[in-house]
């Protein structure tokens, strides 16, 4: 009897909790990841009257590869000694739960409390500034429920991790904030540290690897270089530097491929040094590089090339830099600072 009554009470409590959650428009926390992001959208726990969230790929700056959640930021802060501060800055994604202090227009900063989910980890962004470290001009620029990314150093403030003074707003889904999403970037690779996500497809191998990474030296950044001139002797070879598969379907304002490059000593420049594109991994199309997008072939001077690849928009697009040499002529082709995405504002 007692066991039956206990089961009835548990069932009643469960029903009441479910009804309460429904009335409060709550999202069951167990359905979320610890970062509060599900299927590319920012989702919320129990905040009322929310705007439709901005897709995560529009919130996160492509360069902010180290974007972390509030949960992760708190864990980092707790590893620091009391009063300690990280040497690096982090991009922390969360939503505004409240404020630690009222907005003071004379200073132009705001101290929001951000969290992953309403009753989850939270931290203060102490005296946070607006975009590009400018002052806030109105308190409506930051409101409870805003999804934001804050850039700054993490500090252990006597056991309470926070983002230190000097942190600034990087992105926001608040229409009043003044934030304008930048052009979508699908792939960005400087080649400063190595091949990145690119791989080499040797169609005809030389006695040494044709595509090699040249490390940074002095003021010169690292880059990729292809040549089949081995020990001063040209060799017949063909080697392609191939990108990963790129999903370009999210680009709505056109698609550009840009990169910096130079070549030395090609007898047949357009036949030996080609940029190729495919949407199925099998059928490759050469792209036209205008003459003003090449150097003179005698000086090692990087020139920027900008190619419109909107016609090759697909979920399975790939780019390749196809190098070819002969036993009589083996040019050099250098490459760095590649980007694929919507056109950037000039």
pLDDT per residue over 167-223, tens digit each?
Answer: 999 888 888 888 777 788 899 999 999 999 999 999 999 999 999 999 999 888 999
Closest CA to 295 of 266, 320, 274, 271: 266
CB 112 within 8 A of CB 184: no
The C-alpha atoms of residue 74 and residue 163 are separated, in whole angstroms, by: 10
CATH number, domain 31-177, options 3.40.50.1000, 2.40.50.140, 3.40.50.1980, 1.25.40.20: 2.40.50.140
CA–CA separation, 343 and 346 (whole Å): 9
- Of the ranges 10-24, 162-176, 208-222, 309-323, which one carries the lowest mean pLDDT score? 10-24
Neighbours of 52 (CB within 10 A): 7
CA dihedral for 78, 80, 83, 85, sign (positive or negative)? negative
Inter-residue contact 302 to 334 (CB < 8 Å) = yes
Cα Rg, the chain, nearest whole Å = 27
To which residue do tokens 């929310």 refer? 50
Q: Is the pLDDT of residue 44 over 50?
A: no
pLDDT beyond 50 at 139: yes
Question: Rounded mean pLDDT of 314-320?
Answer: 97
Please name the fold of domain 185-341: Jelly Rolls (2.60.120)
**pLDDT at residue 62 tops 70:** no
Q: How far apart are CA 168 and CA 151, in angstroms?
A: 6
Closest CA to 56 of 148, 177, 121: 148
Work out the burial of residue 239: count CB atoms within 10 Å of its CB; fewer than 13 is exposed, 13-18 middle, 19 or more buried: buried
Q: Are 119 and 111 in contact (CB under 8 A)?
A: no
67-79 as b/e, with b when 16 or more CB fall inside 10 Å?
bbbbbbbbebbee
* More confident: 177 or 317: 317
Side-chain-facing half-sphere of 4: CA atoms under 13 Å? 1
pLDDT at 326: 98
Residue for token digits 């497809």? Answer: 201
| Strand pairing category for 332-341 and 223-227 | antiparallel
The pLDDT value given to residue 32: 32
Contact of 240 with 319, CB cutoff 8 Å: no
pLDDT at 93 (0 to 100)? 85
pLDDT above 90 (res 40): no
What are the sequence ranges of the domains in the chain?
Answer: 31-177, 185-341
Question: Mean pLDDT in the chain?
Answer: 82
Highest mean pLDDT among 8-22, 66-80, 181-195, 247-261: 247-261
């Amino acid at each position: 009897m007692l066991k039956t009554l206990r089961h009835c009470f548990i069932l009643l409590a469960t029903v009441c909790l479910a009804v309460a959650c429904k009335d409060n428009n709550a999202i069951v926390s167990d359905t979320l990841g610890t970062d509060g992001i599900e299927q590319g959208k920012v989702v919320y726990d129990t905040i009322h009257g929310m705007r439709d969230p901005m897709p995560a790929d529009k919130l996160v700056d492509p360069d902010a590869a180290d974007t972390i959640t509030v949960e992760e930021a708190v864990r980092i802060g707790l590893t620091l000694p009391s009063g300690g501060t990280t040497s690096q800055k982090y991009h922390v994604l969360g939503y505004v739960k409240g404020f630690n202090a009222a907005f003071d227009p004379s200073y132009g900063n705001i101290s929001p409390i951000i969290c992953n989910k309403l009753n989850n980890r939270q931290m203060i962004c102490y005296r946070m500034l607006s975009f590009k470290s400018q002052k806030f001009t109105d308190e409506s620029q930051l409101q409870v429920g805003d999804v934001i990314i804050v850039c700054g150093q993490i500090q252990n403030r006597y056991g309470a991790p926070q983002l230190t003074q000097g942190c600034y707003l990087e992105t926001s889904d608040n229409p009043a904030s003044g934030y304008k999403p930048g052009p979508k970037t699908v792939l960005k690779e400087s080649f400063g540290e190595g091949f990145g996500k690119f791989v080499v497809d040797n169609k005809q191998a030389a006695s040494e690897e044709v595509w090699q990474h040249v490390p940074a030296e002095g003021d010169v950044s690292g880059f990729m270089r292809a040549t089949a001139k081995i020990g001063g002797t040209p060799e017949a070879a063909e080697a392609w530097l191939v990108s990963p598969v790129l999903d370009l379907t999210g680009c709505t304002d056109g698609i550009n491929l840009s990169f910096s490059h130079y070549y030395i000593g090609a007898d047949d420049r357009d036949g030996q040094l080609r940029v190729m594109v495919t949407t199925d991994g099998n059928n490759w199309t050469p792209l036209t590089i205008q003459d003003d997008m090449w150097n003179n072939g005698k000086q090692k001077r990087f020139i920027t090339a900008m190619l419109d690849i909107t016609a090759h928009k697909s979920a399975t697009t790939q780019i390749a830099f196809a190098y070819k040499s002969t036993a009589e002529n083996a040019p050099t082709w250098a490459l760095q600072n590649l980007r694929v995405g919507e056109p950037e504002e000039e």
